[in-house]
Structure 1
Amino acid sequence: MEDKKPLLKVKNLKQYFRTSSKYTVKAVDDVSFDIYPGETYGLVGESGSGKSTIGRSVIRLYTPTAGSLTFDGRDITDKLSKDDMNYVRTNMQMIFQDPMASLNPRKKVGEIIAEGLVIHGICATKAERTKMVERILDKVGLAPEHIDRYPHQFSGGQRQRVGIARALIMNPKLIIADECISALDVSIQAQVVNLMKDIQKETGTAYLFIAHDLSMVKYISSRIGVLHQGHLVETGTTEEIFSRAIHPYTQSLLSAIPRPNPILEKLRVAKTYDYATSGIDYDKGSKHLVEGTHYVLGTDKEMEQWMANNP
């Protein structure tokens, strides 16, 4: 992975929101990670940790407060030129968390999916555009006759497939999946995730997969970043995170995963982590390399203690 060039490079990203003259919310504070072509980077953390804010900053729905964003060799941090804006809008797409809220209820599915093609003038004729929409509907498991239906005529899983189709039709290099399975039934979640994996094998699309469900993140992701209170506290390969989690917050998340074996489930002890009483200060910590691509946020003293407890 080291010899490859990152598709997306996020460096020291800060996203602050000023709520009053005296108070500023630090939603994302000094976050750095890379996403390589064709891989899935999972971003996990509790509600309010800044996951969705990172996704929206990366796709430039928000202007970053500080830091830098590099996409496919282009600096997209500051105000974008028309050429850069078009490049980002065609090569980076987002699947939103709520499939109903993200689809225009007044438009038919065919119009919703083809909107990007119309805006960027990708198809020369309406017939060509319709053919592309039908092809992408088939790819996500929907029938051609669905093209003339409205969003309310679909189930939750089908609406999410429409959202995936809308993102895929632009043939993007990166898709940001913002908790795209959290509102779905478990059986539908598996279908959607398997669909995303199949599409990734076929097209080579990279994913920034934002989710709560660690088991699902483990299944789909090649690398994982753990976010807490706007800070990336630990990052590494899926195997590194699940077999040797070092940060106490990551350990608490992993300990909360239910086990399908009732005997092991009875013995499972969920660890608790309270940042206020932990004695850890994220603002004073720095990123330490544990091994390979496994990084942990902490001070030198904290790292010594963690390494002593995790030989």
Structure 2
Amino acid sequence: MAVNYNSEPLLKVEGLKQHFSVSKNYTVKAVEGVSFEIYPGETYGLVGESGSGKSTIGRSIIRLYNPTDGKVTFNNVDISGKLGKSDREMLRTQMQMIFQDPMSSLNPRKKVGDIIGEGLDIHHTYKDKADRDRQIKAILAKVGLAPEHITRYPHQFSGGQRQRVGIARALIMNPKLIIADECISALDVSIQAQVVNLMKDIQQETGAAYLFIAHDLSMVKYISDRIGVLHLGHLLETGTTDEIFSNPIHPYTKSLLSAIPEPNPILEKNRTSETYDYKTSGIDYNKGTDHHVDGTHFVKCTDEEFAAWVKYDDNIKE
């Protein structure tokens, strides 16, 4: 479905910070002033290396963590502060999460039907037991599982099937936003393609928006409308998939994209990937501000860095 960027954003994150106090003298600054928007029906890909703060952002948005600072607006409701009963209920039904490891996120002592139906039980969104079973079987069919799977336990499924159960559990509440936290990284490559295609089909059908967190750039390119590049808790570059892949500005984005292997062995043999080390780069993320490159393309840097990077890029194009 086409995304209407003139409409109100479904999710608006402004200056989100998430700090974890480890001891009296040491605090981990996992997320530092991140801002982005997700529109209805859109897939926003969040990429970056392990430990860059991707999963922390997802968990802060859905309020598994209480944000240290910043504002999160979802469905025109500020969900970053103390939540009232109606706001909490809206958040719990309209926003869902698919977790990274399907085995550890599913209760091994519960049957699949009860795992998927837990949201229905908590929010009482069914008339009777027959209606509950009908809803669970319908969602199982939607994710490519059979009705008889309702009585099985998680250990009786393969990894791909377990992830489908996780997707079904998120979908049963008919949410407006699904946070997919590296939901394909634990799966085989062939299964990854199946799960991503399933997510795209479901999006076409339901109009749900995705925050797709991953470090597999080719998969992010395939599924995302817009992409945000994260490093050390800072959102360094954001734009449409085409803007990021065809015209990366930040050296970190360039190094990430240059690490994608070429399927052609002759090209791959001669390919050199760019290296980037924050400590020796001379770049200070804390001094950077958002600079507009083109269209929806923004990069976080100082005025001097922006002038140098864009001028350098223009010279390459010439």
TM-score range, shorter chain: over 0.9
Q: Which residue of 2 aligns with 1:90?
A: 93
Deviation at 1:2, TM superposition (A): 3.9
Residue 284 of structure 1, aligned match among 279, 287, 292 = 287
CA shift, 1:267, in A, is: 2.1
Structure 1 position 7 matched with structure 2 position 5: no
Any idea what SS the aligned residue of 2:40 has? coil
Matching residue of 1:251 = 254
Q: Which amino acid aligns with 1:128?
A: D
Alpha-carbon distance in 1 for matches of 2:170, 2:109: 19
Conservation of the 8 A alpha-carbon contact between 2:116 and 2:172: yes
Separation (CA, whole Å) in 1 of partners of 2:5 and 2:295: 10
Note the residue ranges of structure 2 that are not aligned, 5 or more in a row. none
Structure 1 gap segments, 5+ residues each: none
Q: Which residue of 2 aligns with 1:99?
A: 102
In structure 2, what is the equivalent of residue 163 of structure 1?
166
The one of 116, 119, 137 aligned to 1:116: 119
- Aligned with 2:238: secondary structure? strand
Is 1:205 the counterpart of 2:219 in the alignment? Answer: no
SS at match of 1:226: strand
Tell me the alpha carbon deviations over residues 218-239 of structure 1, each in whole angstroms, 9 at most, x when there is no partner: 0000000000000000000000
Asked if residue 67 in structure 1 is aligned to residue 101 in structure 2, the reply is no
Aligned residue among 174, 177, 186 for 2:189: 186
State whether residues 106 and 154 of structure 2, in contact with CA within 8 Å, keep that contact through their aligned partners in structure 1: yes
Equivalent position to 1:230, from 226, 229, 233: 233
Give percent identity, aligned residues only: 74
Secondary structure of 1:147 counterpart: helix
Aligned counterparts of 1:185 and 1:111: Cα–Cα separation in 2: 27
Whole-angstrom CA distance in 2 between matches of 1:32 and 1:53: 14
Q: TM-score, normalised by structure 1?
A: 0.99
Match of 1:275 in 2: 278
Distance 1:79 1:111 in 2: 30
**1:294 partnered with 2:276:** no
The residue aligned with 1:32 is 35
Report if aligned partners of 2:5, 2:39 keep a CA contact under 8 Å in 1.
no
Aligned-partner Cα distance in 2 for 1:89–1:39: 20
| Superposed displacement of residue 8, structure 1 | 0.1
Q: Deviations over 1:154-175 (max 9, x none)?
A: 0000000000000000000000
- RMSD of aligned C-alpha atoms? 0.6
Question: Secondary structure at 1:171's aligned position in 2?
Answer: coil
Q: Secondary structure at the match of 1:310?
A: helix
1:126-137 equivalence runs, <5 A: 126-137=129-140
Once the two structures are TM-superposed, the CA of residue 4 in structure 1 deviates from its matched residue by 1.2
Distance 2:119 2:5 in 1: 34
Letter aligned with residue 295 of structure 2: G
Please list every run of at least 4 consecutive aligned residues from structure 1 whose deviation after the TM superposition is greater than 3 angstroms. Answer: none
Normalised TM-score (structure 2): 0.97
CA distance in 1, matches of 2:12, 2:69: 14
Deviation at 1:263, TM superposition (A): 1.6
In structure 2, the partner of 1:221 is 224
1:142 alignment partner AA: L
- Alpha carbons 2:33, 2:70 under 8 Å: kept: yes
Partners of 1:65 and 1:241 in 2: CA distance: 29
Map 1:10-21; keep pairs closer than 5 Å. 10-21=13-24
C-alpha separation in 1, matches of 2:205 and 2:267? 38
